[in-house]
Amino acid sequence: MGIQFDSKNKIFHLKAKNTSYVMEVVRDGYLLHRYWGRKINTFHNSNFLQLLDRGFSGNPYLHKDERTFSLDTLPQEYPQYGNTDFRKPAYQIQQENGSTITDLRYQSHSIFKGKEPLEGLPATYVESEDEAETLEITMVDSLIGLKVILSYTVFERLNVITRSVRFLNEGSEELKLLRALSMCVDFRDAEYEFLHLHGAHVKERHIERQPLRHGIQSVESTRGASSHQHNPFIALLRKGTTEDFGEVYAFNFVYSGNFLAHAEVDQFSNTRVTMGINPFDFNWKLEAGESFQTPEVVMVYSAEGLGDMSRTYHELYRTCLVRGHFRDQERPILVNNWEATYFDFNAEKILEIARAGSKLGIELFVLDDGWFGKRDNDKSSLGDWFVDHRKLPEGLDDLASKVKDMGMEFGIWFEPEMISVDSNLYREHPDWCLHVPERLRSESRNQLILDFSREDVCDEITKRVSDILESVPITYVKWDMNRHMTEIGSASLPADRQRETAHRYMLGLYKVMEKITTSFPHILFESCSGGGGRFDPGMLYYMPQVWTSDNTEAVSRLKIQYGTSLVYPIVTMGSHVSAVPNHQVHRTTSMEMRGDVAMSGNLGYELDLTKLSDEEEKIVKQQVAHYKEIRKLIQFGDFYRLQSPFEGNETAWLFTTKDKSEAVVYYFRVLAEPAAPTTVLKLKGIDDTKQYQVIGTDKIFGGDELSYVGLSIPANIHGDFQSYVWHLKACSE
């Protein structure tokens, strides 16, 4: 590992575990991208740039007599607009004279051990300086006093490079940042497929991939949240890349608001990838002396397919993004009352469910929406974070204590960023929501969004949430967020800063989350946005797990969880067994299959446990006991995808301990088929040299046999919606 600078040839060579990343400073300080991929020992410019006279690709002024030198044809590291590169720039700045032309040149750089935090923003971190090394390259536009610092961190033990950018206005005039993306990579070909995760509410993170074509292909959010619709993740895959083979270049944005991820294939079939805060409706005023920090992009290179890419993200996020006490703690099995009662509950009903849960071995009871204000439906009370004594006459403290007396922990739901028009908070502060004066305020789920760009709003909400957390023995919080932004504007910002509102909101939100999560380190926080609408690395920095989807139906969940696993660790995925017929898609699946899908994440139950039949109770009890045995392996082991639900009727995945002494294999079949193929499942991630016993049988197989010959799927699993599980333990033989 390390970052080297060859001062003679002005070449930066960044080395992560098995990855090299190379840049070069040329001519009058232009910074070019030269290589990213498999690690090489030394870069001697074998892929030297052949300058050609290309029609309609102009020449920067200082090289105007040299028709072969054009920024339009060179791979740029952080491209700008207006001086011969006609592709989309990484940044754009408007000056007082109205011009958006800038001209950055290399000025200096520094290399240091470790990694600095990004002020006010979530980011990956290191615990010891030896884990990473950082390069900061300072680029300057001397005409306007603009300084841009490009930051790169390489991780010692992973194929990861993180990037971010800091803008400093060291001139005397006011600048307007119109575009401030966090990174750019100019690949010198276009022989890739573009992979991304698209979706909708109750259908998050579905995998889609297609060959790159000339022009721009992008995914983005303009919703004020990273969104269900597009996850802030894209990857370029060499054609034919599979789970286990092929090169992958992946990009994930550590941010929870509007983003843009974009690939542009140019006239010469080069590909430019950029990612950052969405420039759409963004305009940030940078006064003299001010600076602006972009969020971070985590770039992963894999020479061994998508599986290796995922395990790299999982390891990085599990150990260098998620923080706090719960980072390394096994997560409790919970029961949540949402799908059991919705808003219609009282203390007695809650205690009945909790009691049933405690008998089954469940460890945490979560009281969902409806415990505060006068919230009998979704039309009122958001913002009034005071217990509703009509439903809970003895208060929350009493309820929590009674749950605790049953031997369970107590958790609670909040939606701190929201306000109902029918609330005391709104009646007192109608200007506290995002809005534009004189314009009507669009509602979504009957609610408005609090203006978290305002400090007074953030302080009051922090206080209200903290008051509850201080006075009630709560050890888990579900932090929900159930609408996207419209009429984005803030009563506290002047006209020329209105288009800063969406990003200022995120900064305010991150500050509130930092304050609350660090003030209550014993509380496990789970983020949620109508399920997985903000399943992004930004949220994971504050809250170590996420409610994966409001869709709790087992078959739908196969795709949602498989897609989510591409980037996000299993231990971050909340996954619950719910009632049948399922409330979202009305499908009926067996308790076994629902359990097996939910056990492939952080197991929970979300149904009225008092209504289980004796047989169901028996199964749930077994599931809970079994999960306790395997949860360390599931939550902190390595994850291997074996069969994709996006490619057929069957899905399979496998969890193994780091030392490969134990593995759990899950197989799911959606529909029974006449003349079904007799499937043999080839395992991955286990040790060829070990012998494994299939627990519950006397069968022992070598790891090599299980991987290369495979395991037969028993033919006697009949009917639709079936699952099958093998638990393997290495034995000495």
Buried b (16+ CB within 10 A) or exposed e, 249-276: bbbbbbbbbbbbbbbbbbeeebbbbbbb
Q: Which of 141, 451, 550, 687 is catalytic?
A: 550
Binding test (CB under 6 A) with ligand DGJ, winner from 77, 417, 460, 480: 480
Query: For the chain, first and last CA: distance in Å?
Result: 39
Least distance from C-beta 581 to ligand DGJ, angstroms?
18
Q: Compute the least distance from the CB of residue 57 to ligand DGJ, in Å.
A: 51
Binding string, 348-377, against ligand DGJ, x = CB under 6 A? --------------------xx--------
Among 295, 531, 637, 685, binds ligand DGJ (CB under 6 A): 531
195-218: string of b/e by CB count within 10 Å (b at 16+)? bbbbbebbbbbbbeeeebeeeebb
Closest contact distance (angstroms) between CB of 336 and ligand DGJ is: 7
**Of the ranges 18-26, 525-533, 583-591, 678-686, which one interacts with ligand DGJ (CB under 6 A)?**
525-533
Q: Interface with ligand DGJ includes 604 (CB under 6 A)?
A: no
Residue number, nearest CB to ligand DGJ: 369
Rounded to the nearest 5°, which phi and psi values hold at 375?
A: -90, 90
Nearest 5°: phi and psi at 57?
Answer: -110, 100
Residue 293 tokens read as 């920090």
Could you tell me the smallest distance in angstroms from the CB atom of residue 338 to ligand DGJ?
A: 5
- State the Cα–Cα distance between residues 409 and 394, nearest whole angstrom: 18
In the numeric block, the tokens 């001086």 are attached to: 83
Q: Please identify, using beta-carbon distances, which residue of 208 and 378 lies nearer to ligand DGJ.
A: 378
Q: Which amino acid is at 588?
A: T
Phi and psi at 502, nearest 5°, equal: -65, -40
Closer CB to ligand DGJ, residue 330 or residue 378?
Answer: 378
Q: Does 338 bind ligand DGJ (CB under 6 A)?
A: yes
Among 383, 411, 530, 645, indicate the residue that binds ligand DGJ (CB under 6 A): 530
Shortest distance, position 205 Cβ to ligand DGJ, whole Å: 15
Q: Does 547 bind ligand DGJ (CB under 6 A)?
A: yes
Q: What 3-state DSSP class applies to 568? A: coil
Task: Locate the DSSP E strands across 229-354.
Answer: 230-238, 248-254, 259-265, 271-277, 284-286, 291-293, 296-302, 334-336
Nearer to ligand DGJ, 266 or 480 (CB): 480
Sign of CA dihedral 52, 56, 60, 62: positive
**CB-count burial class (<10 Å; 0-12, 13-18, 19+) for 561:** buried
Closest CA to 373 of 387, 391, 357, 354: 387
480 is catalytic: yes
**Active-site residue identified among 103, 186, 388, 480:** 480
Binding flag, residue 550, ligand DGJ (CB under 6 A):
yes
Query: Could you tell me how many residues make up the chain?
Result: 733
Q: Which stretch binds ligand DGJ (CB under 6 A): 24-32, 502-510, 527-535, 594-602?
A: 527-535
Q: Which is nearer to ligand DGJ, 204 or 296 (CB)?
A: 204
Q: Check residue 332 for interaction with ligand DGJ (CB under 6 A).
A: no
**DSSP code for 671:** S
Cα(573)–Cα(564) distance, integer angstroms: 8
Judged by CB under 6 A, the chain residues 406 through 435 that form the site for ligand DGJ are: 413
Q: Using DSSP, state whether 477 is helix, strand or coil.
A: strand
> Looking at beta carbons only, is 109 or 478 nearer to ligand DGJ?
478
Q: CB of 531: closest distance to ligand DGJ in angstroms?
A: 5
Segment contacting ligand DGJ by CB under 6 A, of 21-29, 400-408, 526-534, 578-586: 526-534
CB nearer to ligand DGJ: give 302 or 551: 551
Burial class (CB in 10 A: 0-12, 13-18, 19+), 116: middle
CB nearer ligand DGJ, residue 412 or residue 488: 412
Q: Is 550 in the active site?
A: yes
Q: Which is nearer to ligand DGJ, 187 or 413 (CB)?
A: 413
Binding-site ranges for ligand DGJ (CB under 6 A): 338, 368-369, 413, 480, 482, 528, 530-531, 547, 550
Residues taking part in catalysis: 480, 550
